[in-house]
Amino acid sequence: MKSTVVKILALLALLWSGMLIAAEPIKIGALVAATGPASFLGDPELKTLKHYVAKINAEGGLKGHPLQLVAYDTGANPKKAVTFTKRLIYKDKVAAIIGPSTTGETMAIIPLVQRAKIPLLSMAGGVPIVEPVKKWVFKIVATDRMACQKIMEDMKKKGITKIAMISGSGGFGKSMRKQCKMVAKKMGIDILADESYGKKDTDMSAQLLKIKNTPGVQAVLNPGFGQGPAIVTKNFKQLGLKVPLYESHGVASKKYIEIAGKAAEGVRLVSPPVIVAAKLPDSNPVKKVCLAYKNEYEKTFHTPVASFGGHAYDALYAIADAAKRKGITPARIRDGLESLHNFVGIDGVVNMSPTNHLGLDTKSGMVLLQIKNGDWELAE
């Protein structure tokens, strides 16, 4: 009798494992700028998604279903993002979409995901992505407004009340410029010069010379990402500006330091904490997950971790958390994201709600850094 029971249990286990293997995959779409001017964002994002989707599947998938990543390289082009979003929705029939990498692309596809009722978890920084709240749109990445607040708090501590800005003309630069102007007004910081540069500009000396010749400027803030800020940094040094230079979280990658070279020394910026994970105080609730991700990423890909891959990690595991709690359909994943509670990610601790589709605690998830000896240090 005992032998028969054992055989039956073994047969049931075999059948159950077969059911797991045969289960329909949950398709997760991804839009990443893996090539082009924003490849420093999309490359670590895509690497992270592929690696951790495989890891989740090796651990049994989600609710018995394997994950299937369907990723497209947008090259940071909003038109391509729109085309690939339509493909993800109507041909690939994904349950959720992660990305795009940039604000401009994200804003371009929002009407599509809203109409199709597919949850979108953006990896971009612009405030307009989640303000006002849109039913099917979420993000975990710190906003440009949060970055401005963190930077300007540091300025105030240093007695800086008169600044200049030089901003990128893309979606991120425009959005952060707008947010910084509003934050500056509230914090009593005067913007004495307000310059900008284009995506394809290779020299910003003319704009910086205007700033240099503006009386009273105590610091310069550069809202932007990609190669633009590195060029600004080089030109800033070449022109001999002596005031502090602040950069956005859009440059939180070793690529920026590599391109800017010695000119980056002393630059201050805000960043998600993962790039200085080992230097975080033990009291920071995200230190453990940041260290684990950093170590695994660098061991797997033999390259320094970038904060942008952390955005992809958080997006993927937020969707996994939502699906485990609520279900695997698009509507249930959406409900799960909206009820995300005490989710400890690389970008911070997250608590979302029907009125807050960001839910990020920047005290745990955003740090002020300074570049010293070609590396990141927590700013003093």
Q: What is the pLDDT of residue 238?
A: 97
| pLDDT at position 22 | 57
Length in residues, the chain: 380
Q: Is 339 helix (H, G, I), strand (E, B) or coil?
A: coil
pTM assigned to the model:
0.85
**Could you tell me the two tokens for 13?**
């286990």
- pLDDT tens for the chain, 380 residues long, are 545 544 555 544 544 444 444 589 999 999 999 998 888 889 999 999 999 999 999 999 998 999 999 999 999 999 999 999 999 999 999 999 999 999 899 999 999 999 999 999 999 988 899 999 999 999 988 888 999 999 999 999 999 999 999 999 888 889 899 999 999 999 999 999 999 999 889 999 999 999 999 999 999 999 988 789 999 999 999 999 999 999 998 888 888 999 999 999 999 999 999 999 999 999 999 999 999 999 999 999 999 998 899 999 999 999 999 999 999 999 999 999 999 999 999 999 999 999 999 999 877 778 999 999 999 999 97
For residue 215, the 8-state DSSP code is T
The reported pLDDT for the residue numbered 166 is: 98
Q: Which amino acid is at 167?
A: S
Yes or no: say if 57 and 20 are a contact pair by the CB < 8 Å rule. Answer: no
State both tokens at 269.
């910026």
